[in-house]
Amino acid sequence: MPLRSRYKTSQWPRHGGQAAALLARFGLPPDHPIEDFSANLNPLGPPDWVPAWLERHVSELTRYPDVDYVAAREAIAAHHGVSRDQVLLTNGGGEAIFLAASLCAGGRAGVLTPTFNEYARALDGVGAEVCEISFTHPLDGLDAVFLCRPNNPDGGLLALVEVEALLARAAAADCRLIVDEAFIDLTVDEDANALPARLAAHPNLILLRSMTKFYTLPGLRLGYALASEALIAAMACRQPPWSVNQLAAGLVAPLLADSDFAARTQAWLTAERPRMQQALERRGLEVAPGATCFFLLRPGVALRRQGITAEVMLEWLLGGGILARHTHGYAGLDGEWLRLALRDERANHRLLKVLDACLR
């Protein structure tokens, strides 16, 4: 089925964190208590000082933000070692995706699947033809390729050498490479922050970042794009004015300066991820190789032989108060896998207890 019709016809909620729709689907009351493992947010956030900061700055809502977001963009530029004109501040990583896609209006773009559905939706919205491609697919005739690194929904992190090979092929085909790094700060990898330094040599590269996941501020909406000055200018003129609110823009510099929060997040990930992966595998689940703050998994062969499918597990988990993310609408997964967030030790322990009860 072509990508377009698959995401448009899905009867399942399009994103994680949509408890009400799933509870209704499985006939559970709307007040059924749940722990949300369907949205991938940093369980350590937001940083402790954020509520007091917001209170102190709330009176700023009575004026318009700086339409050019100079201070926020300078903080991001300094953080990544690029120039301010290579930074576009956006209303979440989501807006950055839609602005990058708008550069392909009326053209053709490749999406490395299975992956986040919003690339296809954004491309479709600007009349671009969406092609599901694999890494070896020729890039000639494509205006851009979307790569999610680490990838949602499996958490796989394409090696830097492979990204570089893809970049070289994209340059030769006069095609842009758009890398969504929404989860890169929630990834255990020494090269996690290597791509911004490649922008100088690769004018066809666009990087998209989210600050909502790492800092646990999805309701505030904060993200940005990094690219050549020309591509940033092209995206900026498609962005509505004041797209990012005053409080979100003001938080950029203090958030980026909080190195203690970043270090604590890395420590949690490094300890908790392998511990949970082993615990899930010990319970007979097949876990896709990944490097970030969520797991793509399905019942292993032995469980599947007993008739335990991902959908059965989804329903059991929901009954036990655990909201998992279905994979309907993901090319090649089609509901046969589930995605579960990595949370703090207490919540992860609760998940394992519910899983034990389900699989007993």
Ligand X SMILES: Cc1ncc(COP(=O)(O)O)c(C=O)c1O
> Which residues contribute to the site for ligand X (CB under 6 A)?
92-94, 97, 116, 148, 152, 180, 182, 210, 212, 218, 223
DSSP SS3 for 113 = coil
* Residue closest to ligand X (Cβ): 92
The four Cα atoms 226, 76, 126, 238 give a dihedral, to 10 degrees, of -110
Chain length of the chain: 360
DSSP 278-290: HHHHHTTEEE---
Nearer to ligand X, 212 or 243 (CB): 212
Q: CB of 329: closest distance to ligand X in angstroms? A: 13
Q: CB of 16: closest distance to ligand X in angstroms? A: 7
Q: CB of 178: closest distance to ligand X in angstroms? A: 11
Nearer to ligand X, 156 or 300 (CB): 156
Nearer to ligand X, 92 or 299 (CB): 92
Nearer to ligand X, 3 or 182 (CB): 182
Q: CB of 174: closest distance to ligand X in angstroms? A: 25
Q: Which helix (H) or strand (E) holds 73?
A: helix 70-80
- From CA 276, how far away is CA 342, in angstroms rounded? 8
C-beta separation of 71 from 89 below 8 A:
no
Q: CB of 357: closest distance to ligand X in angstroms? A: 29
Q: CB of 216: closest distance to ligand X in angstroms? A: 11
Question: Tokens for 324?
Answer: 């998992």
Nearer to ligand X, 47 or 92 (CB): 92
- From CA 265, how far away is CA 174, in angstroms rounded? 38
Nearer to ligand X, 116 or 337 (CB): 116
C-alpha separations of 312 from 190, 266, 287, 355 in Å: 38, 33, 17, 12
Q: CB of 270: closest distance to ligand X in angstroms? A: 22
Nearer to ligand X, 188 or 359 (CB): 188
Q: 297: how many CB neighbours lie within 10 A of its CB?
A: 23
Dihedral sign computed on CA atoms, order 236, 240, 241, 245: negative
C-beta separation of 327 from 334 below 8 A:
yes
Largest CA distance in the chain: 62
